[in-house]
Amino acid sequence: MLDRRLAKPASVDAEQLAIDALGYIASEPNLMGRFLDLTGIEADGIRQAADQPGFFVGVLDFLLANENDVVAFSHATGTPLEAVQIARDKLDRGPAS
């Protein structure tokens, strides 16, 4: 029987998951092209953009906007699908007070 429990928000390293997602996007030329086109970021400006608030939320939003993309990321990295949304929500809330 498959374990269908959802990942707990506290157990998801949101920033690392977003970094992994960016690495995955960068490794897929078609995805990277779409990401750059949609964001208006130049390829050589990614590092600078990554320092901006909300950048990693945008990375995860990009993946979540297309079911095929988020499923492919999940399969390629072994990341549970629900963890992507959990990470996105955690990053959007900002650091815990």
Residue 63: the pLDDT is 96
Residue that has been written with the tokens 């998951």 in this structure: 17
Q: Residue 69 and residue 8: Cα distance in Å, rounded?
A: 23
Model's pTM, two decimal places? 0.83
- Tens-place pLDDT, residues 58-92: 999 999 999 999 999 999 999 999 999 999 999 99
Sequence-separated (6 or more) residues with CB below 8 Å from residue 72: 28
DSSP H or E stretch at residue 21: helix 14-27
Sequence-separated (6 or more) residues with CB below 8 Å from residue 76: 24
Q: Residue 94 and residue 47: Cα distance in Å, rounded?
A: 20
Residue 87 CA from chain centroid, whole number: 8
Split at pLDDT 50, 70, 90, the class of 96 is low
